Amino acid sequence: MNQTLAALGWTDHFARQVQLDADQRPTRITAVHRSRLDGLQAGGAVSLSPTESAGSYAVGDWVVASGAAASAPLERTTAITRRAAGEESKPQLIAANVDTLGIVTSCNADFNVARLERYLTMCAASGCLPLVILTKADQCDDPQDFVKQAERLSPLLSTIAINAKDAEDVERLNPWCGAGQTLALVGSSGVGKTTIQNRLTGIEDTTQDIRADDAKGRHTTTNRNLRATRAGGWLIDTPGMRELRLVDAEDGVEEVFSDITELAALCKFNDCAHQTEPGCAVRAAIDNGTLDADRLDRWRKLDRENRFNTATVGENRAHQRRLQKLYDAGQERGRSKRGK
């Protein structure tokens, strides 16, 4: 597969960061393995050795290859992260340099304003442009009603209603995954992500290019994580993309709920909880009908949850430090006992 760098997504943003020697090649990362990176260059697919730990790279990253050695990732335009599962709840990088995050929901009971706001918040924190894709328009009497409800959530939002099983309908997504453009999809199970991806990539069987490392520890090339679209662009599909949660997304909450944060700035007290305080601009807006009380509730919930997630990440670090102190103190006691 031969590509121009621009078609791979290379822009001035990346070009400005490097002075390329004759033997150096910009490379887009298509898969991250424990001790190896798969990538695409203008000349085709390559396999590279990372110079940083594997965790510092993500699918979609740009690196500079000198021979078979990959530089550290170039500064990203966008980064999608999630809160890692388990004990170590530090943010985990899911994908880099995604231009548009397609938030997929259906014109049915899956459509849920609170959930859309969560995804929009995450999208804002990542730096990607949001695109709401409403599937199953063919099974609904008035898809435009759903479109309107979604568009009300943010002026930055594009919304499109489609039948994901209809090839022409799915082609309407081409502007977001044409040459040089990278798209990723999020959404609940069953909303039609796989159906859309298969149409966009022309690959009907998603399992066909999944191949694990073989028994001898060799790797086989897989294009599953960063897949070429028929429109000439890229689609990122990793297991992590499917399990996204909010992390460190405070900026995102502010952007998506700018109407509320702007009002809150006008409250008489700057620690106003918008409950019963005098001079509360938020309650005033609810009273005069310019702000929806449900929206305030959803903001509270999201803000609280986001603070909790972020706090847990911080608390975990604090917890680790406390454990280390206890451990050090224990060793010290042991030493002084033995010394007696």
Query: Is 323 exposed, middle or buried, given 0-12, 13-18 or 19+ CB atoms closer than 10 A?
Result: exposed
| Binding status of residue 201 toward ligand GTP by CB under 6 A | no
Both tokens assigned to 288: 């005069």
Phi, psi angle pair for 321, to nearest 5°: -65, -40
Helix 293-339 vs helix 113-126: angle between axes, to the nearest 10 degrees? Answer: 60
Q: Count CB neighbours of 270 within 10 A.
A: 7
> Is 55 an interacting residue with respect to ligand GTP (CB under 6 A)?
no
Distances (CA, A) of 195 to 33, 141, 158, 169, 191: 27, 21, 20, 12, 9
| Region 272-331 residues binding ligand GTP, contact defined as CB under 6 A | none
Task: From the list ligand GTP, Zn ion, none, pick the one residue 33 interacts with, judged by a Cβ distance below 5 to 8 Å according to partner type.
Answer: none
| Structure token pair of residue 235 | 């689609």
Instruction: Give the contact letters, 235-254, x = binds to ligand GTP (CB under 6 A), - = no.
Output: -------x------------
- In the bound state with ligand GTP, the residue whose beta carbon lies nearer, of 109 and 215, is 109
Nearer to Zn ion, 160 or 272 (CB): 272
Instruction: Please calculate the CA angle 313-314-320 and round it to the nearest 5 degrees.
Output: 95
Report in angstroms how near the CB of residue 263 gets to Zn ion at its nearest.
8
Residue 194 contacts ligand GTP per CB under 6 A: yes
Query: Tokens in use for 278?
Result: 């005098």
**Closest approach of ligand GTP to the CB of residue 246, in Å:** 19
- Nearest approach, Cβ of residue 292 and Zn ion (Å): 16
- Applying CB under 6 A, among 135, 181, 229, 310 the residue interacting with ligand GTP is 135
User: Mask of contacts with ligand GTP, 151-190, x by CB under 6 A?
Assistant: ------------xxx---------------------x-xx
Residue stretches of the annotated binding site for GTP: 135-138, 187-195
